Amino acid sequence: MDTREPMLEMFIFETFDMIEQLQQLIIDSEKNKRLETEAINEIFRIMHTIKGSSGMMMFDNISNLSHTIEDLFYFIRESKPGKIDYSKLTDLVLEGSDLIKIETEKINNNKDTDGDFTLFIEKVKGFLKLLKTYDENSEDSGNGGSDELVSEEDVEQKYYLSTDRVNSNLNLFSATLFFDEECDMENIRCFTVVHQLKEISEVSYYYPEDIIENNDTCEIIKKQGFKIFFKTNQSIEDIRTLLMENAFLNNVDINKFYSEIEFSEQFSKKNEKPQEDIIKSINNIVNDTNDNEKVASKSLSYKQSLISVDVNKLDKLMDLVGELVISEAMVTKNPEISELQLDSFNKAARQHRKRLSDLQDVVMSIRMVSLAPTLTKMNRIVRDMCKKLNKEVELEIIGQETEVDKNIIEHIGDPLMHIVRNSMDHGIETKEERLANGKPSIGKITIEAKNTGGEVWIIIKDNGKGLNKDKILKKAKDNGLLKVKENDLTDREIYSMIFLPGFSTKENVTEFSGRGVGMDVVTKEIEKIRGIVTVDSIPGEETTTSIKIPLTLAIIDGMTIKVGKSVFTIPVTSIRQSFIIKKEDIIRDIDNNEMILIRGECYSILKIHEFYNIKTNVVNIEDGIVIMVEDQGKAKCIFADELIGEQQVVIKALPEYIKKVKAISGCSLLGDATISLILDISEIVNL
C-alpha cells in the first residue's frame, strides 16, 4: 500500500484537474459551434491519459468509459465529419466527465468504484454510429467528409491490441523518454507508460528497473531519460503518437532493431550493468562533478522550480510565520527595554522586522491561487440552466487571474454558484419577455474579480429584471422575518433579505429554487472568511451582487488603539485619517447625537467606551483621539483614548463566548502579551 499511495494521490489530483479542463474545452467548442484541431487533440489526450492511468490503477469502469469517449474523438479527429450536433456532443462529454468525477470522488473517500456505465457507453456508441452515418451520406453526396472512414474496429486496433494479437512479425524497438523540466514523480509516470505499452506489446526490459520501489530513480530519469525495450506489430509512427499523448512528456527517441540478436544484446547489456556502475551513476547525478558543478547546479535548480507541496505543510509554515510575528513584537515592544537607548539593538530590530516582512510576503505568495478554476466552473452552470430554462445567456468573466489565499478560495465556490443560479432563475428573463421589454434577446451575466489593496472584490452582475422590493418586503412579513419598521430600512438592506434562511420569493418549487435554501449559504460561507455580501438592484434593468473578501486570513497590518484597559485593532486598509478635534468642531443632529464636521461633511461618531460599556477616564471627545474609518464608500469616526501604534497582528478566531459581540471579527496576541480585539469596520460603518 505504501507504494500505491503516491500513485493514487497523483491519479486523483490529475483526474480532477483534467476533468475541469475537459469541461471547459467542450463548452467553449459548443459556444463556437466548431471543434478546433487543438481542442480535439487535447480532449483526446485527456481521455487517453485518464483511460491509461485508471486502467493501471484497476479502476476498470473509469477506464472503459474513458476509452469510449476517446474512440469518439479519435473518429472526429481522423474522419473530420462534416456534420456534428455540438449540443448533443457536449451533453455526452459533460455527462461522461461527471460520471468520472463521481467515481474519482469515491476513490478519494476510500469507497468502491461501483458505478455502472453500460447505458452511457451505449449512448456514446449510438452517437458515434450516427456521426458515421452523417459522414457516409456527406461523402456519397460529395459534400465533404474524409476520403476514408475509420471503422469502430479500426479505432480499437489503432492503439488497443492485446498481447495475444501480437504475431511473430514483430517490430523490435527501444524508446527513451524525456520529461518536461517542471514534471515531478517521473518514476510513477514511467510506470504508467510501461503499463500502457503492455497493452499493445511485449515489454522485454526497462531501465531504471525499480521505478516504484526507489524514489531516487527520479534523478536518473531526469538526467538520462527512461529507456524501455519492447516488441510490437505497431509502426514507429503509431508508437511515437501513442507515447506523446502522455502528460509532461517532452520528447521520445525511438530506435528500431532489425534482428533479435541485436535487440537482445542491447537490453542484456543494460540488465547486466554492474551494481557499482549503477551506484556510481546515481552518485554522479546527485553529486555533480567538479568540472561542471556550477552549470549542473543551475540546471538542477531550474528543474526543481515547480514542485507539488502538501497544503498542510503550507498551513504549518504560515502558522510558524505568524508565531514569529508575535515573537518579534514581544521582543521589540518589551516594556523592560523600550525606555533604554539601545541604538544597535534598534537597528538590528528594524533589519529583523524587514526580513520577517519579506518572509511573510514569500509565504503568502506561495499560498496564493488563481480564481480562474473557480470562476470558469460557472460556465457549466450557465450552460446547463440555459438548456433547462429555455433561456439564452452570455457569461462574461473578467479578472480571472486575480489571486487569493488557498483557504479563502475553498469558501467562495458554493456562494458563487448560488448567486449565478439565482441570477439565471430569478433575474434573467426568457427570450420572449426580454424582446417584449425592448431588451436584447440574449441575457448577460458578468463576473468580475479585482484586487483593491488588501481586499478582493467579486462582483456578479446580470441585466435581468432586477429585484422587486415590495415583493421581498411582503414575503419577509409573511415569514416573520421583518424585525424593524419598513421605513427604517435602506434599499440595500431590503435586497439583502434574500440571504435570510428560509426566504424565497418563488411561488412554485422548482429544480433550482423555491425551497428557501441556498442563498443563506452565501452569507454563511462568506462570513466564515470575514467577508461581506451586498446587493444593489435597478428594477427592470439589473442586479449587482458584490462580495468583498480579505486577501488573506492570517496576518494584517493593524492600528492598535486603547480604550480604558481594553485594546482594539483597526485594519490599516480601513483607516482614512486620525486627528484630535476641538469642542467647536462638534455638532449635533436632530436626535442630539454628536457628529463631526470635516471639510463641509458631517460624520457620526462611535464612542467605543459607550458601545462596549468600558470604564475609562477619557469621556470628553476633545481629550481623546478620533479615527475616521471607511468601507464601501461609507465613513464613520471612532473615538478612543489613545493610539498605541501600527503593527502586524496575527488574526485568531474568537472564543465561542464572545462570538456574538457586535463589530468584532477576531482577536490577536500583541507583543506585550495583551489580547487585542479586531474591529469589524464593515459592520461599524453600518451601525
pLDDT digits (tens, 9 = 90+) for 123-133: 999 998 888 87
Domain spanning 167-271, CATH class: alpha beta
pLDDT exceeds cutoff 80 at 282: no
Please provide the DSSP assignment of 198-237 as one string.
Answer: HTTSEEEEEESS-TTT-TTHHHHHHHH-EEEEEEESS-HH
- What is the arithmetic mean of pLDDT over 129-138? 74
In CATH, 311-368 is 1.10.4160:
no
Three-state SS sequence of 423-465: HHHHHCCCHHHHHHCCCCCCEEEEEEEEEECCEEEEEEEECCC
pLDDT-derived band at 270, boundaries 50, 70, 90: low
Q: Write down the mean pLDDT value for the chain.
A: 81
The tens digit of pLDDT for each residue in 4-45 reads 467 788 888 889 999 999 999 999 999 888 888 899 989 998
At 512 the pLDDT is: 55
Under 8 Å between Cβ of 531 and 548: yes
pLDDT classification of 545: cutoffs 50, 70, 90: very high
336-363 mean pLDDT: 83
pLDDT band, residue 303 (cuts 50/70/90): very low
- Stretch among 73-77, 96-100, 204-208, 402-406 having the lowest mean pLDDT: 204-208
More confident residue, 557 or 503: 557
SS (H, E, C) 34-98: CCCHHHHHHHHHHHHHHHHHHHHCCCHHHHHHHHHHHHHHHHHHHHCCCCCCHHHHHHHHHHHHH
CATH pick for 5-159 out of 3.40.1180.10, 3.50.50.60, 1.20.1050.90, 1.20.120.160: 1.20.120.160
Poorest-pLDDT segment among 338-352, 380-394, 452-466: 338-352
646-682 pLDDT, tens per residue?
888 888 877 777 767 888 888 888 877 788 999 988 8
CATH topology of domain 371-550: Heat Shock Protein 90 (3.30.565)
Predicted pLDDT at 18: 92
C-alpha cell at 599: 471639510
Rounded Cα gap, residues 199 and 457, in angstroms: 51
Beta carbons of 596 and 585 less than 8 angstroms apart:
yes
Query: Is the pLDDT confidence value at 273 over 70?
Result: no
pTM for the structure as a whole: 0.67
**Which tens digits make up the pLDDT trace of 211-221?**
877 777 888 88
What pLDDT score does 590 carry?
A: 82
For position 286, what pLDDT does the model report? Answer: 44
pLDDT of residue 508: 55
Which of 534 and 271 is assigned the larger pLDDT?
534
Check residue 466 and report its DSSP letter.
Answer: -
The model's pLDDT over 468-478, given as tens digits with 9 standing for 90+, comes to 988 888 888 88
pLDDT > 80? residue 636: yes
Extended strands (E) in 324-411: 368-370, 393-398, 403-405
The pLDDT value recorded for residue 203 is 76
d(CA 573, CA 453) in angstroms, rounded, equals: 7
Cβ atoms 29, 35 nearer than 8 A:
yes
**Res 92: pLDDT:** 94
Mean pLDDT, residues 506-518: 54
- The pLDDT confidence band at residue 513, using thresholds 50, 70 and 90, is low
**Predicted confidence (pLDDT) per residue in 311-330, tens digit:** 788 888 888 888 888 888 78
SS (H, E, C) 492-519: HHHHHHHHCCCCCCCCCCCCCCCCCCCH
Comma-separated ranges of CATH 1.20.120.160 domains in the chain: 5-159
Per DSSP, the three-state class of 347 is helix
Residue 582: per-residue pLDDT:
82
CA separation for the pair 366, 400 (Å, rounded): 18
Q: Sign of the CA dihedral 577, 580, 585, 589?
A: positive
Residue with the larger pLDDT of the pair 165 and 403: 403
Are the CB atoms for 604 and 628 separated by under 8 Å? no
- The string of DSSP codes covering 128-193 is HHHHHHHHHHHHHTTSS--SSPPPHHHHHHHH---GGG--SS-EEEEEEEEE-TT---HHHHHHHH
Residue 532 β-bridge partners = 548
pLDDT confidence bin for 344, thresholds 50/70/90: confident
Query: Which pLDDT band holds residue 296 (cuts at 50, 70, 90)?
Result: very low
User: Has residue 85 got a pLDDT over 50?
Assistant: yes
Q: Is 259 helix (H, G, I), strand (E, B) or coil?
A: coil
Asked if the model's pLDDT at residue 518 lies above 80, the reply is no
96: Cβ–Cβ under 8 A, 6 or more apart, which residues? 65, 68, 69, 120, 124
Average pLDDT for 383-397: 93
Segments of the chain assigned to CATH 3.30.565.10: 371-550
Whether 395 shows a pLDDT value over 90: the answer reads: yes
Query: Do 625 and 641 meet the contact criterion of CB atoms below 8 Å apart?
Result: yes
**Higher pLDDT among residues 85 and 285, named by residue:** 85
- Residue 298, pLDDT score: 39
CA pair distance 536, 552, nearest whole angstrom: 26
**Regarding predicted confidence, which is higher, 454 or 556?**
556
- Residue 672: CB partners within 8 Å, gap ≥ 6? 329, 330, 333, 334, 335
pLDDT above 50 for 289: no
Residue whose C-alpha is closest to residue 103's, from 61, 47, 44: 61
pLDDT of residue 302: 36
Instruction: Check whether 280 has a pLDDT greater than 60.
Output: no
With bands split at pLDDT 50, 70 and 90, how would you rate the model's confidence at 371?
very high
The mean per-residue pLDDT over the stretch 589-614 comes to 88
Residue 449: its pLDDT value, please?
Answer: 95
Span(s) in the chain for CATH 1.10.287: 311-368
Q: Where in the chain is the domain with CATH 3.30.70.1110?
A: 167-271
Of the segments 94-98, 112-116, 231-235, which one has the largest average pLDDT value? 94-98
Which grid cell is 268?
542484456
Going 306 to 311 to 313 to 319, the CA torsion angle's sign is positive
Q: Which residues partner with 559 through β-bridges?
A: 570, 646
- Tell me how far the alpha carbon of residue 248 is from its chain's centroid: 21
| Contacts (Cβ under 8 Å, ≥6 apart) of 145 | 79, 80, 81, 82, 135, 136, 138, 139
Whether the ω angle into residue 415 lies within 30 degrees of 0, i.e. cis, is no
Predicted confidence (pLDDT) per residue in 564-575, tens digit: 999 999 999 889
Residue 135: per-residue pLDDT: 63
Q: Indicate the fold that domain 555-684 takes in CATH.
A: OB fold (Dihydrolipoamide Acetyltransferase, E2P) (2.40.50)
Sign of the torsion formed by the C-alpha atoms of 642, 644, 649 and 652: negative
Please report which confidence band the pLDDT of residue 147 belongs to, taking 50, 70 and 90 as the band edges. very low
